[in-house]
Chain A
Amino acid sequence: MSNIPDPPRRAISLDTFAVALALVLALLVRLNLLPPIKW
């Protein structure tokens, strides 16, 4: 049974990209750089 000191550094997770995209979209909406989004 070996001891793992720390998880190895990995590439940025999908979650992080999704959060980044959502925050960028929210900022664009806040700055009125996107037209009103309709459904």
Chain B
Amino acid sequence: MTSIAITPVRPVTLVSRIAALFPGILLLAVVGYAGKFIEQSINAYTKAHHTPFPNIEFVLWAIVIGLLIANIVGIPRIFQPGVATYDFWLKAGIVLLGSRFLLGDVLHLGGISLFLVAIAITLSLTFMHLLGRAFKLKPKLTSLLAVGSSICGVSAIIAAKPAIEADDEDASYAIAAILALGAISLFTFPLIGHSLHLSDKAYGLWAGLAVDNTAEATAAGALYSDAAGKVAVLAKTTRNALIGFIVLGYALYWSSRGEAKAVGNKVSFLWSKFPKFVLGFLLISLLATLGFFAKPQLASLANLSRWAFLLTFAGVGLRTSLRELGKQGWRPFAVGAIGEVFIALLTLGLVYGADHYLHL
């Protein structure tokens, strides 16, 4: 299971580059809407026939349809540039989701998340390095797996790769392992959450702290409930905000060993790695708190965010190739998997503690 190799298409002008995105975006919309249609149809059928059937969110249907298309038919080249925009829709959706949070809630839950993230990152980075040493992985591959599983998946690996001068092979192994594990957690987290009877807030916080990729964390939260999805995005956004500091730490470590270039201006380095959508999220949340939007307008913004996420969830399925899994080495995957289980248990413990002592 890994990212589908996207053959670069090089249209000449900006207009043709934008035009090249349309088929793939249309595919995202069709797959996402098909998921929504299936959810609504099942609900309508079970209601009309008084048949007891659990509500399966469109998120799961969209991901499954995407997975089936990507792994049975494959994604034709014409759709690939547009499918790759799923991450863009995710970021836009998160910014718009800011309208559903009062700034006070962001600061309260964000503060708790930050506290838990700091503990989780410290312990999980240490654990991942011990694990990497035990499995005799190359140190830089271990570093990439550690940032990927502790902070924010693929984005963290992409941000860290040039900073620590890791090679392409290590980065692609780490990305493949993180994506595979992200897909697995997407299906296992909601099941575990339900079996432990976690509240929406506790589950959302857990998903946001433990699931690696932002898209998967958002989907894992939304699969549980709408409220859990909101909290998962907030916790994950807090985690994402720390990416620059961790990558800077690694860059300084590897440069001190003479195996990476020295970092010049640290503030500029931090800013270049900082996920800008976090600022957009805070700005929209601030505007909503100040009463800049009327109630129906807030509902429109929340729905726009849902539509953006619909495209994202379709992309999560479409970019996951099960066939590629066999081509990856087992050791990076094993280190990632053991690390993920450790992080999931650790963050679950932290969430239980926070729920008890900090009153979520």
Contacts and interface: CB of A to CB of B under 8 A. Distances in A.
Interface of A: 1-7, 13-19, 21-23, 25-26, 29-30, 32, 34, 36-39
Nearest to B255: A1
9 contacts: A1-B258, A14-B88, A15-B276, A18-B90, A18-B280, A22-B284, A26-B293, A34-B300, A39-B306
B239 interface: no
A5 B261 CA distance: 11
A29 B95 contact: no
Interface string B111-152: 000000000000000000000000000000000000000000
B138 to A, nearest CB: 20
Contacts of A26: 96, 99, 284, 287, 293, 301
A16 B276 contact: yes
Interface residues of B, number: 39
B262 interface: yes
Nearest to B262: A3
B307 A37 contact: yes
A2 to B, nearest CB: 6
B91 A18 contact: yes
A38 B303 contact: yes
A12 to B, nearest CB: 10
B54 interface: no
Given A23-B95, A23-B280, 17 more contacts: A1-B262, A3-B262, A5-B265, A13-B276, A14-B91, A15-B91, A18-B91, A18-B277, A22-B93, A25-B92, A25-B96, A25-B301, A26-B301, A29-B297, A32-B297, A34-B300, A37-B300
A22 B307 contact: no
B255 A22 contact: no
Contact of B264 (A5, A14, A18): A5
A11 to B, nearest CB: 12
A18 to B, nearest CB: 3
A33 to B, nearest CB: 11
B88 A19 contact: no
A5 to B, nearest CB: 4
